């Protein structure tokens, strides 16, 4: 472990922002009598495309991707689905309070996300100010676990990988960061985070 940790680099979804997309998709599918797997595939196709290209809006994706689901899903229903999914998002209050209680560290976010996540963090949750910078895959054109995303984050933070603790709920992303020299925490719960972060608090 390095003598001094300078920063924490957090994932957002599944760590600081908890979302229940499965529940929203299941309820939407039942309401509109559309197979759940088709709705899920369509949503994640949109998310994956838009998280590396900020020009892909929900409307553009709907127009350009006619894979058969539009036979039963109209534009307004598509937008309603997105609203339903994003309405399930809640803030991990315990983790946000931990960050506020430990101001000795600099905090950054590295997220595979669609454009505009900064506005969501500020206007919906009021926490954008917790971060020195929010690094969004849609803006940089590279997603975790791509080494390019981590390299970009290090450049923005101005530190070396061993001086940073990367926190993510994806074992794949955590493994990629560890291979690049980051200190890492695989986020499974706030309790596990408290246990695993303690060593860095006393370094």
Question: What pLDDT, in 10s, does the model give residues 50-72?
Answer: 999 999 999 999 988 876 676 67
User: pLDDT higher for 98 or 62?
Assistant: 98
* Residue whose C-alpha is closest to residue 165's, from 140, 200, 120: 200
**Are 81 and 129 found together in one domain?**
no
**Are 46 and 121 found together in one domain?**
no
Give the pLDDT mean for 130-158: 96
User: pLDDT higher for 2 or 184?
Assistant: 184
Tell me if residue 42 falls in helix, strand or coil. Answer: helix
Rounded Cα distance between 110 and 194, Å, is 20
**Are 52 and 121 found together in one domain?**
no
**Are 181 and 101 found together in one domain?**
yes
**Are 103 and 68 found together in one domain?**
no
Domain count along the chain: 2
How confident is the model at residue 1, as a pLDDT? 46
**pLDDT > 90: percent of the chain:** 80
Which structural domain, as residue segments, surrounds residue 46?
Answer: 21-86
* Residue whose C-alpha is closest to residue 175's, from 186, 164, 189, 165: 186
Residue 127 contacts residue 96 (beta carbons within 8 Å): yes
**Are 25 and 109 found together in one domain?**
no
How confident is the model at residue 203, as a pLDDT? 67
Which CATH number does the domain housing residue 109 bear? 3.40.50.1000
């Amino acid at each position: 472990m390095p003598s001094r940790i300078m920063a924490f680099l957090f994932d957002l979804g599944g760590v600081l922002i908890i979302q229940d997309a499965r529940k929203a998709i299941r309820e939407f599918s039942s309401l509109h009598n559309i197979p759940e797997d088709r709705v899920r595939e369509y949503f994640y196709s949109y998310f994956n495309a838009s998280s590396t290209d900020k020009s892909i809006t929900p409307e553009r994706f709907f127009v350009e991707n006619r894979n058969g689901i539009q036979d039963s899903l109209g534009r307004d229903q598509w937008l309603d689905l997105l609203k339903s999914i994003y309405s399930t998002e809640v803030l991990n209050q315990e983790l946000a309070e931990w960050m506020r209680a430990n101001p000795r560290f600099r905090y950054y976010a590295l997220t595979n996300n669609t454009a505009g996540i900064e506005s969501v963090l500020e206007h919906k949750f009021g926490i954008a100010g917790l971060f020195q910078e929010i690094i969004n895959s849609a803006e940089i054109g590279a997603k975790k676990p791509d080494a390019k995303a981590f390299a970009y984050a290090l450049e923005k933070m101005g530190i070396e990988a061993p001086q940073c603790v990367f926190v993510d709920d994806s074992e794949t992303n955590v493994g990629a960061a560890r291979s690049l020299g980051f200190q890492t925490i695989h986020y499974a719960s706030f309790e596990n985070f408290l246990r695993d972060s303690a060593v860095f608090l006393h370094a």
